[in-house]
Structure 1
Amino acid sequence: MSELSNTLPKCISLGPIFFVIGLVMFKSVLISTVLFAFSFVSLAGDKVILRQSEMMTIEPKGLSYHARMDTGAENSSLHATELEIIGGSAKKMKKNIGKTIAFTTENEQGEKKRMEAKIVDTSTVSNSQGTETRYIVQLPIRFEGKTHKVDVNLRDRSAMEYKLLIGRSFLKKGYVIDVSKKKLIGEQAKINVKEAGLVFNTRIDSGAVQTSLHAIDIHIEDEDKVNMKNNIGKKITFTTVNEKNKRKTIKTYVYGTSYIRNAQGDETRYTVMLNLGQKGSEHLVRVNLRDRTKMGYKLLIGRNWLQGRYLVDVTK
């Protein structure tokens, strides 16, 4: 009992000391955490936030692509066919480094350009399709007024949805990816059809799968009038008119056909790829064409334009 009596006061006297030490340690950890959080926010604040796909332009030809961000790839990748080494090709690809390569590239709308660039390297890529060696060139890529010259590998991406992949070498220039980044939009909005240079007073319709644009005087080059599907890939010309009766003619390619069922009945419409959005932030979307002369809205925005980008707020 005497031993316990002698020990107890010592334990009690040490308690406040341990409490003070613990408090100091807690404050240190808290301060460190706060400082780290502030530094992280500051770091993110200096960078431009990109969605998982954005409209980007290859300079100097000015060809725009609906580009996919790919943080798993070091270099960007561009759809390229008809590759030709100016002055003749060596047997080994490595021997062509430093030479100029000419190639044809095509965006999602079927617009083609012939480009030239200097080969800076080759890259052997392994993926689900196997292993292949590609030429790497440096190309200037522009996004919202800023242009960065980055390494881009060339490959045939004909069968792929995205003709331009943006890799880490571009993203390291001051970009971060937010795959959930969305904007708010009301039940009506002013939407620009970039190819026409016309702004439409648009109805936002989350009940519609696909976006629909008023189109008249539709003409398809060498049209098959029996089977609409046989016209996919052909040149199409049509006139669109907005609510202010401003009209423009658009020339593009038939992307596909779409079977539509609504209150007016069933019909099959041609679809094209167009850049739609608020001026300066348009993005490529599939649009079906129909005569909307008798309808209040000449452009109807469907879920395929909204998906992954916008939340609809009917109170806006």
Structure 2
Amino acid sequence: MLRILILSALMIAAPTFAGEKAIIGQTAQMSVSEVGLTYEARIDTGAGNTSIHAFDLEVEGGSAKNMKDNVGKTIWFTTENRTGESKRLSATIVKTSTVSNSQGTETRYMVSLKIGKKGDERKVKVNLRDRSHMDYKLLIGRNWLKGKYIVDVADKQLIGPVAPISIVETGLLFNTRIDTGAVENSLHAVDLKVENGVDDMEKNVGKMLFFTTENEQGKQHRVHARIVETSLIRNAQGSEIRYMVELQVGELGKEYKVKVNLRDRSKMTHKLLIGRNWLQGHYMVDVSL
């Protein structure tokens, strides 16, 4: 459920407060005490856990074949911030975390680190991931935000990390992931057919596109929309180009037109992901809702 939040003076550079919770922007300067480095962090309500760039991982005394059997052992790793400053450090493996994305699943080690504004860090579980292909070497997830912060990519209304969102053109309601880490909205789409299409995706901009989408309840709809542009999406696995269309997206009865990229999300729990291009100027995200 959405609530209206009125703020008299919204400052994104430093957290302000809504009730007992601080408001934080879509990026923030974060310190990691054990590392002694400062990171420009992406604030990502789409991520359950916080993640730090880590490579050259080595389990002290040798690694067991099953990653879970290494819990309790010491792990050495190297981390680096956006400016190229690096440090090698060790920490105790406190658990493993299985992360799902469009490429499948992977298991990562988790350690406890003190993260926050310099001088105000607090301990949280962090997964170790090679983020060398990502712009942000530290990603702040819901486990750091929950109960303490509201994420504001502009201002105005308040929304939780998952919300029922309607797309008028589909006649469907989606159990939607609200993801401040994503620039764009992304909709599950398969069986894409471009009218008079060619292999060069850029040359199909302006043409009509048919695609089939499906919500989390398995209800399907065939959609006909115009390709307005293509979008280059980068993630840890590399990059890909996706078609973008304009659709009416929002709370039921309060939809407004926004660009949406089309992606096969059949392996993902949420078939619609809401990014900053829908949130900007309209919503703040409270992962405790």
Q: TM-score range by the shorter chain?
A: 0.3 to 0.5
| Larger RCO (alpha carbons 8 Å, 6+ apart) | 2
Larger helix proportion of the pair: 1
Q: Which structure would you say has the larger Rg?
A: 1
Larger strand proportion of the pair: 2
TM-score by length of 1: 0.43
TM-score by length of 2: 0.47
